[in-house]
Chain A
């Protein structure tokens, strides 16, 4: 009787995926002494800010050098910053990280300064009509304009804002790191702020979407009130709640 308290019907845990923004500490030297000294100076300027904050160590700049990872970690721990893992680095460096059970993250495809998140979705350019921005953007926004209909099965990914002056068919998917503007019917899926920008919005002159999402907060067609269907709307986030508003 007494040991039956934890009934099997109650789940003990749940796995969920979530996107977080983590500061990255780019390492430029293998000289632990000077590193430690400079870090101490920096932290002193804003002790409260850095205290117990987590950080991802980026080893890309020192990957061909001889680095004592354990000493580096000690230096970081000394200023009460908590490393949560490394990314980049040579095989040997990653091996020593594994030895002390420090997670190893992938390097995002985008230049390290531009992307706060761990992974960047692969851009898919559907046709010659989209802005063929194969070049990586230097800093922030590169907007994409599409004037042709986006057909079922096509995907468009924009690094900045995405402006579509035609319709988005059912079964098509449009994604942007920034806002999405659609001057036509949206019958497919639209995902704004795909890297986590909660301030991004979706504007659409005729909402018939299969799915809408802002920074990972989504709603499927079934959950969109009929009163918004086939009307011009804007969609934004308010405290993690997806709001649809007639414009």
Chain B
């Protein structure tokens, strides 16, 4: 049975697209056929993060308008043959998306894919609403600061009341918390909310913490999902998240400041 995952947050710039790309790649690497859809029509980014921007011919809106078939628009990833990308249109806006159109595309994808990751745009308007409407699971991406937490809370309210599952009174969307750009040192100084603070406000199942990392920016710039950088802390954190989502029991990492040994302190660059 295919599952639709929405990666959402309310607030912009917290790491939705980075997370979508990493999670989709992670699931595909595990052998699951995965599609990742960019719902940010007009502000197309996902293809850049996944490094397939030069292979975009048709897009999501073309498929909805039946100007292209789904197979024509899906871009197969060069690094992993289980991963497919459906890019957003850059020349249109969110009004080009319709509920029926999105539903039709997702239903067709469900026939052949195991996981469908929907990269939601920021905000709570049309694009974000359509991205989450058909979802089974929601990854709520939050930064450890108050405005991001508030917006995530708002988004959780919308997930609980305006999704298809809510409207049909089915089992509600399963919600997971992903805390991104976490910096234990700044938490210790009281400059950032801690995992406990955020959990206290959102009361949500924590799927993982992604540390603030230079690797994320490098990965974005080079068009490689950060999960492929197995040496980096952020890459490992995303791998953990994929494992936990698939049911593995992995202890949380990157929550506490790394203790530096004597040599670490001496040879710190």
Residues of A within 8 A of B (CB): 126-129, 148-154, 166-167, 169-172, 185, 187
* 12 contacts across the A-B interface (CB closer than 8 A): A127-B166, A128-B169, A149-B156, A150-B157, A151-B156, A151-B160, A152-B151, A153-B157, A153-B158, A169-B157, A171-B150, A187-B201
A171 to B152, CA, bound (A): 12
List the B side residues contacting A187 at CB < 8 Å: 201
List the B side residues contacting A185 at CB < 8 Å: 200
List the B side residues contacting A154 at CB < 8 Å: 157, 161
In the assembled complex, how far is the CB of residue B200 from the closest CB belonging to chain A, in whole angstroms? 8
Q: Could you say which of B154, B157, B161, B200 has the most chain A C-beta atoms within 10 Å of its C-beta?
A: B157
Main secondary structure of the interface of B (DSSP, over half): helix
Of all chain B residues, the one with the shortest Cβ separation from A155 is B157
- Given A167-B203, A169-B201, A170-B150, residue A151 in contact with residue B166 (CB < 8 A): no
Q: In chain B, residues 137-175, which have Cβ atoms closer than 8 Å to a Cβ of chain A?
A: 150-151, 153-154, 156-158, 160-161, 166, 169, 172
List the A side residues contacting B150 at CB < 8 Å: 152, 169-171
Q: Could you tell me if A151 and B154 are in contact, using CB atoms closer than 8 angstroms?
A: yes
Number of interface residues of B (CB under 8 A): 16
Of all chain B residues, the one with the shortest Cβ separation from A130 is B161
Q: Could you tell me if A171 and B161 are in contact, using CB atoms closer than 8 angstroms?
A: no
Given contacts A128-B166, A151-B160, A152-B154, 19 further A-B contacts (CB under 8 A): A126-B161, A127-B157, A127-B166, A148-B160, A149-B156, A149-B202, A150-B157, A151-B154, A151-B157, A152-B153, A153-B158, A154-B157, A154-B161, A169-B150, A169-B153, A169-B201, A171-B153, A171-B154, A172-B157
A165 to B161, CA, bound (A): 18
Q: Could you tell me if B201 and A127 are in contact, using CB atoms closer than 8 angstroms?
A: no
Q: Could you tell me if B203 and A149 are in contact, using CB atoms closer than 8 angstroms?
A: yes
Of all chain B residues, the one with the shortest Cβ separation from A188 is B153
A105 to B161, CA, bound (A): 35
Of all chain B residues, the one with the shortest Cβ separation from A149 is B203
List the A side residues contacting B158 at CB < 8 Å: 153
Q: Could you tell me if B157 and A126 are in contact, using CB atoms closer than 8 angstroms?
A: yes
In the assembled complex, how far is the CB of residue A123 from the closest CB belonging to chain B, in whole angstroms? 14
- Given A149-B203, A151-B160, A169-B201, residue A128 in contact with residue B154 (CB < 8 A): no
A154 to B153, CA, bound (A): 10
